Amino acid sequence: MSTTLAQALRQAAGAGLERLDAQLLLGHVLDRPRAWLIAHDDDTLTAEQALAYQTIVSRRAAGEPVAYLLGHKEFHGLNLAVSPATLVPRPDTETLVDWALEVLAPQTQARVLDLGTGSGCIALALKAARPNWSVFAVDRSPEALAVARANGERLGLAVNWLQGSWLEPVAGQQFDLIVSNPPYIASADPHLEALRHEPLSALASGADGLEDLRQLAQAAPPHLPPGGWLLFEHGYDQADAVAALLTQAGLENVSHRQDLAGHRRCTGGRRSR
Ligand SMILES: C[S@@+](CC[C@H](N)C(=O)[O-])C[C@H]1O[C@@H](n2cnc3c(N)ncnc32)[C@H](O)[C@@H]1O
């Protein structure tokens, strides 16, 4: 028996999918935009399309992120490829990008470093907004870096991609601005279960979730010139701890930015002049 688009969407809802996810996935299977689906409710799927849709709906129902199933995610106005080697870029991370764009004058010929770049989302959003900046991006994962590099090539955005651990690949270099969204979830945090499809190495950071932030707060300031900025994203309840780490590291003007839910999600400071 043939299945109409409307029936397929109802079956997806029955499997527990939100309507938007069900539509995005059906559009992906049919290679059509959402608006087209709405106007073609009574069209029927071929047997092959119906099977492909059932398979992708089952994967979504089992918790795979929509972005992995689609193979891409929108971030700060850029359409980025993602894979299971990269964290799915989150809207909250756009807060960090917006803050980074505020701290340096737009015309500055700045050197900027993104540590733990994943899909390249932060580095690419900065380069897209400030083509005159020299942007560098580091990740330990060669697989993530390959996705980031391909995103840069497809978007025509020139970023210097470097593989290695945190500041190792930029030994001896200085940057006017260093940004990072490092792993920051405590290794025994029950929320990790819901994130099991994303790389653990992008998420977990020691018993209290602060291991990488502690390491970066120590290692990054020597790479800042006087007046240079260091900005972090972190967990919703880590703002005071991260502020203390930056103050201990000798940074000034330590302050926070809130995410879309009103949590202090980013903390940063500046090397004294
Ligand atoms: C929370 S994800 C952030 C990814 C991306 N910047 C974003 O905002 O979506 C953290 C990233 O840090 C990388 N990472 C973890 N430990 C690292 C290390 N020691 N050195 C460099 N990168 C590291 C992971 O591979 C991952 O891509």
Q: Residue 89: which CATH number?
A: 3.40.50.150
Outline where DSSP puts E strands in 6-99. 44-45, 72-75, 78-81
- The percent of residues above 90 in pLDDT, for the chain, comes to 97
Q: Per-residue pLDDT for 174 more than 80?
A: yes
Q: How confident is the model at residue 221 (pLDDT cuts 50, 70, 90)?
A: very high
Q: How confident is the model at residue 107 (pLDDT cuts 50, 70, 90)?
A: confident
Are residues 162 and 232 both part of a single domain? yes
Are residues 255 and 128 both part of a single domain? yes
- The percent of residues above 70 in pLDDT, for the chain, comes to 100
**Binding site, annotated residues:** 116-120, 139, 166, 181-184
In whole numbers, what is the pLDDT of the chain averaged over residues?
97
pLDDT tens digits, one per residue of 178-199 = 999 999 999 999 999 999 999 9
Does residue 182 line the site of ligand 1, with CB under 6 A?
yes
Atom of ligand 1 nearest to the CA of 116: 12
Q: What are phi and psi of 115, to 5 degrees?
A: -100, 125
Q: Which of 98, 114, 117, 121, when mutated, tests ligand 1's pocket best, judged by the most ligand atoms within 8 Å of its CB?
A: 117
Give the separation between CA 206 and CA 202, rounded to whole angstroms.
12
Are residues 160 and 39 both part of a single domain? no
pLDDT score, position 11? 97
Domain count for the chain: 2
Are residues 259 and 219 both part of a single domain? yes
Tokens of 131: 């083509």
Closest CA to 91 of 104, 78, 106: 78
Are residues 103 and 30 both part of a single domain? no
Are residues 83 and 196 both part of a single domain? yes
Quick one: average pLDDT of 93-104? Answer: 98
- 256, β-bridge pairs: 267
pLDDT score, position 108? 83
Are residues 107 and 11 both part of a single domain? no
End-of-domain residue from the set 62, 88, 110 = 62
The residue segments making up the domain with residue 207 are: 76-270
Are residues 200 and 167 both part of a single domain? yes
Q: What is the CATH number of the domain that holds 55?
A: 1.10.8.10
Give the separation between CA 150 and CA 224, rounded to whole angstroms.
29
**Binding site, annotated residues for substrate:** 181-184
Quick one: average pLDDT of 117-139? Answer: 98
Does residue 93 line the site of ligand 1, with CB under 6 A?
yes
What element of type H or E holds 162? strand 160-163
- The answer to whether the beta carbons of residues 71 and 86 sit under 8 Å apart is no
Q: How confident is the model at residue 104 (pLDDT cuts 50, 70, 90)?
A: very high
Q: How confident is the model at residue 6 (pLDDT cuts 50, 70, 90)?
A: very high
Sign of the Cα pseudo-torsion (27, 28, 30, 31, in order)? positive
Nearest CA to ligand 1 atom 9: 89
End-of-domain residue from the set 12, 28, 62 = 62
Whether residue 67 lies inside any domain: the answer is no
Q: Is 166 helix (H, G, I), strand (E, B) or coil?
A: coil
Whole-number Å distance, alpha carbon 89 to ligand 1 midpoint, is 11
Nearest CA to ligand 1 atom 11: 116
End-of-domain residue from the set 17, 34, 62 = 62
Angle between helices 5-14 and 19-30 (to 10 degrees): 130
Q: Per-residue pLDDT for 1 more than 90?
A: no
CA distances from 202 to 50, 64, 88, 181 (A): 35, 16, 10, 9
Are residues 207 and 233 both part of a single domain? yes
Whether residue 172 lies inside any domain: the answer is yes
Are residues 149 and 244 both part of a single domain? yes
Are residues 169 and 51 both part of a single domain? no
Q: Per-residue pLDDT for 106 more than 90?
A: no
Atom of ligand 1 nearest to the CA of 86: 27
Whether residue 69 lies inside any domain: the answer is no
pLDDT score, position 218? 98
